[in-house]
Amino acid sequence: MASLELEGVFKRFGDNTVVRDVHLEIEDGDFVVLVGPSGCGKSTTLRMIAGLEEISEGTLKIDGKVVNKLSPRDRDVAMVFQSYALYPHMTVRENISFGLKLRKMPQAEIDARVSDAAAILGLEDLLDRKPRAMSGGQRQRVAMGRAIVRQPAVFLFDEPLSNLDAKLRVQMRAEIAKLHRRLGTTTVYVTHDQVEAMTLAKHIVVMHEGVVQQVGAPLELYRDPANVFVGGFIGSPSMNFFDVKVDPEADKPTVQGAGVRVTVPDRYIEGLGDKGRNLVLGVRPEHMYEAKEPCDGFVGEVEVLEPLGADVHALGKLQGQDFTARLEPETQVKVGDHVQIGIELDSLYLFDKETGLALPVSGS
Amino acid sequence: MQPGSKYFAAGAVLATLGLLAVAHFDHEGRAWELQQRHLEVTARALGFAQLMEEVREDEAGEGLAQRFAEALPSSVRSVDEALIVKKARLLAHSDPERGGTRLSRDSVADKGLYDVGVALAGDVKKNVEERERSPELGAKNAFPEIEPKPAKQQLVAGKLVLAVPVKDGLRYRGAARVVGGKIEVRRIFPLRIALIGLACVVLFLLLGGRLKGTAQVLVGSVLMATMVLGQAFAYQDWSRSARRAHAESLAQTYGELSQAGLLHLAPNAEARAELVPQLLVRPTGIAAKDLVAIETASVAAQHEGATRIDAQAAAVFVPNSFLNASGGSKGLTLWAIAFAILGIAIFLLGAFGQLGRAGMSLWDHRSAYKYMSPALVGMLVLVFVPVLYGIALGFQKRAYNEYNFVGLDNFVKILSDTEFSDPQGFYFTLGVTLLWTVSNVVLHVSIGLFFALLLNDTLLKAKGIFRVLLIVPWAVPNYITALVWKGMFHKQFGAINLALQGLGFEPIAWFQSFWTSFFTNLATNTWLGFPFMMVVSLGALQSIPGDLYEAAIVDGATRWQRFKKITVPLLMPALVPAVMVGTVWTFNMFNIIYLVSGGAPDGATEILITDAFKWAFERDRYGYAAAYSTVIFVILILLTTLTNRITGATKGAFE
């Protein structure tokens, strides 16, 4: 078990900088999820921690010790790969014990650890099978078994669930969470799936184009996205964005544009800035509702209805901009209807159009 | 008892009975025919026509040959009239046109006899001319009734040639033997045939009874075929040794005959001593000569008491016929095959209705077979037929452009050549071949793998160029490469010796000693062979997912451990079949040996396949060469099966 520290870490491939100035402090026992769209540098960051990629600039410390130049075998990390990377010519037992054998651990100890790991992961009956004869979920478990028998200081997961089908993914997600609760090992987990990130992480690191956008607990990121990117990335369905301007005409502070008109809540008034300033209005679908009469919001045409049972997602267009609203299940709205959509003022976000950063919030 | 076993036994019994019947009739009606004809011709030639007539009149179903052999010894003592003339030539005549049976120059069986007859006719003519020049030498006409045309010629003379039979007759072992001038045939062959049949049935009960379906069908069919062929061989063996016994008996008879003639010609020892060196002798083998020498000496001693006749000059007599003791009955082989098929058919049809089911499946998948048929026909014509023909050729011997069935003779001869240190010998060559194969394959794989690992390295620049360069040796036709290397190893002008001299070393006569000569072959073939292994290895290396190595790195494997635990096991599924193919290629790598060292020195660096080539095309022994090739084939099958068993190559790493 160990803490992990990245200080000003860069990764360059030739002229191409894929990871830029990453600072992270990961406490002992933490579960950190690096999340972002593909190509955002999250996997590269993980591979630098594992030692599979060299660090171009900056320092990486494990337990306070700089390990930039240490080979992976000396870093005491274990990694689960997206493809599982099981050794196809070895049985499950051999796969799991491979790292221990290489470290010349006594056989009795190896056996004990393998059977422990197998018990934790429910692999007891599969120990003598070869990877080929197993399902995706079983292979996934073997890959985790291979990591946990090592009892490493840090677990690294590189999109471990993306090759599984949706149902299995949910199940394995729960198992990983359980495993972490049980072992308490410091874990760095890479995924592009924000649901995984939200459900698993103690702390989420959102990355975009090699740069860390925001670090925080899942709900923090959901409630207070630092910029448009984080706002759009976290949450499902994604946040709606509307280009708006601070309305110079209105008597109350109002933003409007592209058919949307919203009164600015008090908490934003202080940082609202000059009239006419270009802003981005962010509203999560779950913070919209079907209104009976004109109110803060807009009238949009519904193009698609997605009844999910618990609620209905209405997808539509508003002057060229897409929107998604979550409506009550008993709504009578039909495709093609022009609906008055209301926006909950307590839950809207305003971002600066140019920088993408969230406007400062006062009070509360 | 399973139904399969029941029907196997039924098939086996039927096939055995059929074969016994055929063998019986073959014995009575066919196998002795040729021999009797020879005896008749010989007897006529020796002037025993009258005796022959007697025997023939007396004949009542008994074998003519046997009767003749019995009758002859008793009459030898009184053969004064037996064709003895001037210059101690034993006169006789075998006129092909007037022989007891017509001889055909186109038949293998008759050819030898025919040639002798022609030679005799020439001799007779010569003698007649000689006699006309010196009429005082005239003697009475020994046997006017077979006088050659023109009829007025009174004297005939010829040399008689004793060929194969005595030699073989002396060596025979087996079913028949001569007891006191009589031939005694031990009729154990029916028992042997029956025992073979029984053994096969028991074997099937032990082996095949446990198997199911196709495996049982296969085992049963093979066993049935083996059984019938074994029975046929047993019969052939029996009949051959019986005939050898006859041959021996005849040889004895003729020996005595000639001694009598000699005594008649020169009653006293001095005259005989003078005479003996002039005797015309054409022994065809040591055994024949020895036999006659001993017989002659002993008879002479009996009659004269004192004079010893020089063994070397002693062959007098002689029968003018070949007794083809080694020939077999082709008809029987065909019958044996027919019965084998019959037995197998009963087994298959009865036990499984497999044939019906096979037919059904053929019909069900008829469209598939339709698409396969061009390939099947191609395989049949280009592969199976030539291979089977080659194997069949191994059981035959070529003489006068015809092939005779000789059973396992060729194989026995090949495998019983136990001169281990003789560079021409089979086992020496086999040893060289194995050494050649192993050293080549080891070098091919290690060099090929080495380059493949280099080419697979992500850091290597200009991979394409290197890859092309490394494949070049493979792309050049190998005989060109072979000749280039041969030139390079030339003692005077070769690049290698020039380089050695440039460095101050003595030039090496590469082809004069075994090891240097072997090295030239090895160097050439290594050059030719490694690119294949490189390409195979490279392909396999590239198919190993990179994240396996990363996983191993994180697991703590060093570079060497990664090679040993990841690369090597995952290469195996591709590499083992390649090694097997390479082994077979190298084992049969004719071009290099033939073109580079050419077997020098003294055929020591020859491998089996070049040896087989020499047997066929330099020594013209096609049957022997075919048997040689079959032996190579069997060795290769054993070798690859063994490799396969050990490495489990066909299982693959992913199972």
CATH number at residue B643: 1.10.3720.10
Per the CB < 8 A criterion, the answer to whether B8 and B227 are in contact is no
Whole-number Å distance between alpha carbons of B89 and B91: 6
DSSP state at residue B384:
I
Residues in chain A closer than 8 A to B545 (CB atoms): 83, 85
Q: What is the 3-state secondary structure (H, E, C) of B7-33?
A: HHHHHHHHHHHHHHHHHHHHHHHHHCH
CB contact under 8 A, B547 and A88: no
The token pair at A341 is: 């959509």
Query: Taking a C-beta distance cutoff of 8 angstroms, is the pair B287, B166 a contact?
Result: yes
Into how many domains does chain B fold? 2
**Domain annotation covers residue B372:** no
Q: Is B554 on the interface with A (CB under 8 A)?
A: yes
Q: Which of A80, A98, A130 to mutate to test the interface with B (most CBs of B within 10 A)?
A: A98
Q: Is the pLDDT of residue B400 over 80?
A: no
Classify B460 in phi/psi space as left (phi over 0), alpha (psi -120 to 50) or beta: beta
- pLDDT of B277 higher than 60: no
Contact A146 B556 (CB under 8 A): no
Rounded to 5°, the CA angle A26-A27-A33 comes to 45
Residue B335 domain-assigned (yes or no): no
Query: Do A89 and B570 make contact, defined as CB atoms within 8 angstroms?
Result: yes
Structure-token pair, residue B389: 């023909």
Q: Do A85 and B545 touch (CB under 8 A)?
A: yes
pLDDT attached to residue B36: 47
Question: Using CB atoms, which residue from B550, B558, B654 is nearest to A85?
Answer: B550
Answer yes or no: is pLDDT of B99 > 60: no
Find out whether B395 and B407 touch, Cβ atoms under 8 Å.
yes
Candidate from A52, A103, A132 with C-beta closest to B553 = A52
Q: How far is A85 from chain B (nearest CA, A)?
A: 5
> B439 pLDDT band (50/70/90 cuts)?
very high
**A–B: how many Cβ contacts below 8 A?**
68
Using pLDDT thresholds of 50, 70 and 90, give the confidence band for residue B45.
very low
Is B112 a member of any domain? yes
d(CA A24, CA A8): 9
Query: Residue B418 carries which side chain, given as an amino acid letter?
Result: T
Task: Give the residue from chain B lying closest to A47, CA to CA.
Answer: B550
Reference B242, options B482, B1, B457, B23; nearest CA is B23
B57/A162: higher pLDDT: A162
Which residues of B are less than 8 Å from A132 in CB distance?
654-655
Task: Quote the pLDDT of residue B94.
Answer: 32
**Residue ranges of domains in chain A, CATH in brackets:** 4-229 (3.40.50.300), 240-352 (2.40.50.140)
Is the pLDDT at B185 greater than 70? The verdict is no
User: In this structure, is residue B41 part of a structural domain?
Assistant: yes
The nearest alpha carbon in chain B to A104 belongs to B556
Pick the residue with more confidence: B445 or B32? B445
Question: Are B60 and B173 within one domain?
Answer: yes
Chain B residues with CB under 8 Å of A129 CB are none
Decide if B176 contacts B186 (C-beta within 8 A). yes
pLDDT at residue B198, rounded to an integer: 83
pLDDT higher than threshold 50 for residue B100:
no
- Positions of chain A with pLDDT lower than 70, given as ranges: 1, 363-364
Domain that holds residue B572: 414-647
Residue A85: list chain B partners with CB under 8 A: 545, 547-548, 550-551
Q: Do the Cβ atoms of A73 and B545 come within 8 Å? A: no
Element (H, E) at A243: strand A240-246
Residue in A with minimal Cα distance to B570: A89
pLDDT of residue A46: 93
Q: Are residues B430 and B298 in the same domain?
A: no
**Secondary structure E strands in B488-623:** none
Domain C-terminal end among B293, B313, B333 = B313
Q: Cα–Cα distance between B158 and B100 in angstroms, integer? A: 18
Q: Under an 8 Å CB criterion, which residues of A touch B?
A: 50-52, 71-73, 77-79, 81-83, 85-89, 98-99, 102-103, 130, 132, 146, 150, 156
Using a CB–CB cutoff of 8 Å, tell me whether B570 touches chain A: yes
Residue B361 located in a structural domain: no
B552 touching chain A per CB within 8 A: yes
Among B296, B313, B330, the domain-final residue is B313
pLDDT tens for each residue of B353-392: 655 666 777 788 888 888 999 999 999 999 999 998 888 8
pLDDT of residue B123: 55
Distance of residue A233 Cα from the nearest chain B Cα, in angstroms: 29
Give Cβ neighbours of residue B499 (< 8 Å, ≥ 6 apart): none
Amino acid at B386: P
Say if B655 is an interface residue toward chain A (CB within 8 Å): yes
- At A333 the three-state DSSP class reads coil
Helical axes A136-148 vs A166-183, angle rounded to 10°: 20
pLDDT at position B281 is: 32
User: Does residue B302 register a pLDDT over 60?
Assistant: no
Rounded-to-integer distance, Cα B75 and Cα B81, Å = 12
Angle at the Cα of B387 from the Cα atoms of B385 and B392, rounded to 5 degrees: 90
Q: For A136-140, A344-348, B396-400, B557-561, which range has the lowest pLDDT when averaged over its residues?
A: B396-400
Question: Does residue B591 surpass a pLDDT of 60?
Answer: yes
Do B289 and B426 fall into the same domain?
A: no
Which of B327, B401, B329 has the alpha carbon at shortest distance from B106? B401
Q: What whole-number distance in Å separates Cα of residue B218 and Cα of residue B344?
A: 10
Q: Do B308 and B446 share a domain, yes or no? A: no
The one-letter code for the residue type at B2 is Q
pLDDT at B406: 77
Pick from B430, B399, B400, B432: nearest CA to B414? B430
Residue B325 lies in a domain: no
pTM over 0.90: no
What letter would DSSP give residue A254?
E
Q: Residue B236 in contact with residue B332, Cβ under 8 Å?
A: yes
Q: Are residues B435 and B305 in the same domain?
A: no
Q: At residue B267, does pLDDT exceed 60?
A: no
Q: CA-to-CA distance for B185 and B238, rounded, in angstroms?
A: 9
pLDDT on residue B251 = 53
Residue of chain B minimizing CA distance to A51: B554
Dist. CA B49–CA B41, nearest whole Å: 9
More confident residue, B319 or B79: B319
If contacts are CB pairs under 8 Å, which of residues 520-549 in chain B contact chain A?
545, 547-548
Cross-chain Cβ contact A81/B547 below 8 Å: yes
pLDDT, tens only, B327-337: 445 556 677 77
| pLDDT band at B175; cut points 50, 70, 90 | very low
Alpha carbon B271 to its chain's center = 48
Residue B473 has pLDDT above 80, yes or no: yes
How many CB atoms neighbour CB B465 within 10 A?
9
Q: For B639-651, how does the pLDDT look when each residue is reduced to its tens digit (9 = 90+)? A: 888 877 777 655 5
Which chain A residues are within 8 Å of B569, Cβ to Cβ? Answer: 89
Which of B548, B554, B576, B655 should one mutate to test binding to chain A, selecting the residue with the greatest count of A CBs within 10 A?
B554
Q: How far apart are CA B534 and CA B618, in angstroms?
A: 37
pLDDT computed for residue A110 by the predictor: 93
CA distance to A312, B334, B384, per residue, from B408 (Å): 89, 17, 22
| CB-based contact A103 B556, cutoff 8 Å | yes
Contacts of B315 (CB under 8 A, 6+ apart): B162, B279, B281, B283, B288, B289, B292, B293, B296
For residues B411 and B123, which has the higher predicted lDDT (pLDDT)? Answer: B411
A146 to B551: CB separation less than 8 angstroms, yes or no = yes
**Do A258 and A295 contact (CB within 8 A), yes or no?**
no
For A234, the 3-state DSSP assignment is: coil
pLDDT at residue number B172: 27
Q: Which residue of B has its CA nearest to A130?
A: B655
Residue B356 CA to chain centroid, in angstroms? Answer: 39
List all residues 6 or more positions away from B349 whose beta carbon is below 8 Å from its beta carbon: B7, B355, B356
Percent of chain B residues past pLDDT 70, beyond the cut: 55
Q: Where are the alpha helices (DSSP H) in chain A?
A: 42-50, 92-102, 107-121, 136-148, 166-183, 194-200, 218-223, 228-233, 266-269
The closest of B14, B24, B37 to B332, measured between CA atoms, is B24
Q: Where are the beta strands (DSSP E) in B400-553?
A: 402-405
Q: Quick one: how far is CA B483 from the chain centroid?
A: 34
Which residue in the set B548, B554, B653 is minimally distant from A78, CB to CB?
A: B554
Mean pLDDT, chain B, whole residue set: 67
Contacts of residue B566 in chain A, CB cutoff 8 Å?
87
Of B247, B278, B313, the residue that ends a domain is: B313
Q: Is the four-CA dihedral A142, A146, A149, A151 of positive or negative sign?
A: negative
3-state secondary structure of B471: helix
Query: How much of chain B is in helix, strand and coil states, percent to nearest 5?
Result: 70, 5, 25
Cross-strand bridge partners of residue B443: none
Are residue B299 and residue B420 in the same domain, yes or no? no
Examine residue B463 and state whether it is found in any structural domain, yes or no. Answer: yes
Angle between helices B426-456 and B568-587 (to 10 degrees): 140
Q: Cα distance from A146 to chain B (closest Cα, Å)?
A: 9
